[in-house]
Amino acid sequence: MTSNKRIVLSSDHAAIAMRQAIAEHITAKGWEAVDIGPTSPESTHYPTHGEAAAKRVASGDCALGIILCGTGQGIMMAANKVKGIRCGVCSDEFSARMIRQHNNANILSIGARVVGESLAMSIVDAFLESEFEGGRHGTRVDMITAIEG
């Protein structure tokens, strides 16, 4: 894995408590959590937060990202509009491992209204502990990148 240990975290209002718990969890594991909020429980718009996190990863400021909204779906869609981002929603550990190993995902999205906190931590661990395998998977990821133009 890269020497960059910075993980950007963002969410909308539906996932603030889970995002903050994940930030604490990954900090305890030696990552640098770059939590860009929001902290207010007021209703907000997930595309803003998905784009902001995605730009931190696309620019290289952060190695990886973890984003959350109620379902994980809307914020994932926004993040994937940023060039260079490969983000998947995961509700299980297997998928979180696979999106790193096979798809070279650089952002994990979680639905705070879908999974409980304990499962969310296991999903995060599976994502951060996995490495891209390259090889035939590299060919396919390059094909995704080519679609970006």
102 is catalytic: yes
69 is catalytic: yes
The residue among 30, 42, 31, 29 whose CA lies nearest residue 9 is 31
| Interface with ligand RB5 (CB under 6 A), residue from 36, 70, 91, 95 | 70
> Does the protein bind ligand RB5 through residue 115 (CB under 6 A)?
no
Per CB under 6 A, which region of 50-58, 68-76, 119-127, 129-137 contacts ligand RB5?
68-76
- Helix ranges (H only) for 29-134 are 46-58, 73-79, 93-101, 117-128
User: Active site residue: 69, 87, 90, 137, which one?
Assistant: 69
Nearer Cβ to ligand RB5 (14/26)? 14
Residues 10 to 39: which contact ligand RB5 by CB under 6 A? 12, 14
Alpha-carbon span 40 to 81, nearest angstrom: 25
Alpha-carbon span 25 to 38, nearest angstrom: 18
| Interface with ligand RB5 (CB under 6 A), residue from 18, 33, 63, 69 | 69
The residue among 67, 13, 69 whose CA lies nearest residue 40 is 13
User: Active site residue: 13, 25, 102, 137, which one?
Assistant: 102
